[in-house]
């Protein structure tokens, strides 16, 4: 049995949840998210006197149901956190002449190519740039925020000799030593 799946999800007062069949919809101050849960997983909403909780259980004890148990609980928990607080990823650009800027909703990156790279974020994502080198990606869906951050990083990943490129904030890049000169 999944240890993560056994934990119940406590909802705050600002979050409303609706379960219709296998579709769970979570609404909060930042927005609304919905997800279709697999048939092997059962979701129940319990109203206590002071708080509401979501309990995720399996319908049977097959291997696939056990695999989906913790995953489903984590996805629902990320939805609850997203509509309540939101998710943020921070990226840093390092390199001489490398910079970024926001034009309307578009992110424009100048990272050593012969042309600027333009990225159009999804409608539910907001991007801010600080000091031309720090990028902040914010949204309510954890998967979409992480995917956009990975896409931006993949445009110019940090290289191991000088460390130039786009990296996550706090990411450590192991540097290699260069050619030995004679």
Q: 83-132 pLDDT, tens per residue?
A: 999 999 999 999 899 999 999 999 999 998 999 999 999 999 999 999 99
* Contact of 163 with 144, CB cutoff 8 Å: no
Overall number of domains in the chain:
2
Residues in CB range of 34: below 8 A, 6 or more apart: 23, 24, 25, 26
What pLDDT score does 3 carry?
A: 84
Q: What is the 3-state secondary structure (H, E, C) of 18-82?
A: EEECCEEEEECCCCEEEEECCCCEEEEEEECCCCEEEEEEECCCCHHHHHHHHHHHHHHHHHHHH
Domain enclosing residue 7, as ranges: 3-84
Whether the model clears a pTM of 0.85, i.e. scores above it, the answer is: yes
- Whether the CB-CB separation of 100 and 144 falls below 8 Å is answered with no
Q: Is residue 131 part of a domain?
A: yes
Tens place of pLDDT for every residue, the chain, 182 residues?
Answer: 568 888 888 888 889 899 998 899 999 999 999 999 999 999 988 887 778 898 899 999 888 988 899 999 999 999 999 999 999 999 999 989 999 999 999 999 999 899 999 999 999 999 999 999 999 999 999 999 999 999 999 999 999 999 899 999 999 999 998 887 76
Last residue of a domain, one of 84, 104, 131: 84
In terms of domains, do 110 and 142 share one? yes
- Angstrom distance (rounded) from CA 157 to CA 150: 10
Whether 62 and 102 map to the same domain: the answer is: no
pLDDT of residue 78: 95
Q: Does 35 share its domain with 94?
A: no
pLDDT of residue 71: 92
How many Å apart are CA 37 and CA 53, to the nearest integer? 17
Read off φ and ψ for residue 65, nearest 5 degrees.
-65, -40
Q: Are residues 60 and 97 part of one domain? A: no
pLDDT at 27: 94
Give the end of a domain, one of 84, 101, 129.
84
Residue 2 has a pLDDT of: 67
């Amino acid at each position: 049995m999944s240890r993560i799946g056994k934990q119940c999800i406590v909802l705050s007062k600002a979050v409303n949840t609706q379960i219709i069949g296998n579709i769970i919809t979570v609404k909060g101050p930042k927005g609304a998210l919905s997800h279709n849960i697999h048939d092997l997983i059962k979701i129940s909403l319990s109203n206590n006197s002071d708080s509401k909780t979501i309990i995720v259980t399996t319908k049977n004890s097959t291997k696939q149901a056990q695999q989906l148990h913790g995953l489903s609980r984590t996805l629902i928990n990320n939805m609850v956190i997203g509509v309540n607080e939101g998710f943020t990823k921070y990226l840093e650009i390092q390199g001489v002449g490398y910079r970024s800027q926001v034009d309307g909703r578009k992110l424009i990156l100048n990272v050593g190519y012969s042309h600027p790279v333009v990225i159009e974020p999804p409608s539910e994502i907001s991007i801010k740039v600080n000091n031309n080198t720090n990028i902040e990606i914010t949204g309510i869906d954890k998967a979409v925020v992480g995917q956009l951050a990975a896409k931006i990083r993949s445009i110019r990943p940090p290289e191991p000799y000088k460390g130039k490129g786009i990296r996550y904030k706090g990411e450590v890049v192991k540097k290699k030593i260069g050619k030995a000169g004679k």
